[in-house]
Amino acid sequence: MAPVNTPLIDEARSIFSDLGYEVLEDGDEFRAKRKWREVHVTALTETTDAPDRGDLRCFVTWKEDVTKLREGLREMNLEYEWAIIGVRESGDYEVARAPPSSVAV
């Protein structure tokens, strides 16, 4: 895990708020809502905690964990659309998308 003072879930809330989403608390994760789209957002570093159901999901992890998480999620063959946001120590982030066919983009 990156040596960051801000918890990963707080970084995720900030990212989605900055993108214009309404952030709605939902236990250990949150829902990001804008127009017709509602995305369930989970801070995650390992696939062991990945939900096995959903519609639209976004997993937020540290940048150095993106590849490992993406590979683990692909192996799970999830039936929902998902994406990963990799957060850097500086607070910058990168979005890694994975369409339902799990073809690399």
Domains of the chain listed by start with CATH number: 8-98 (3.40.1350)
**Which residue, among 44, 38, 51, 48, has the nearest Cα to 1 in the 3D structure?**
44
How many residues can be counted in the chain?
105
pLDDT tens for each residue of 53-105: 778 999 999 999 999 999 898 888 888 889 999 999 888 999 987 555 544 43
Residue 22: strand pairing partners? 33
Which DSSP letter does residue 80 get? S
Kindly calculate the radius of gyration of the chain based on its CA atoms and give it in whole angstroms: 13
Predicted local distance difference test score (pLDDT) of residue 47? 76
pTM for this structure? Answer: 0.83
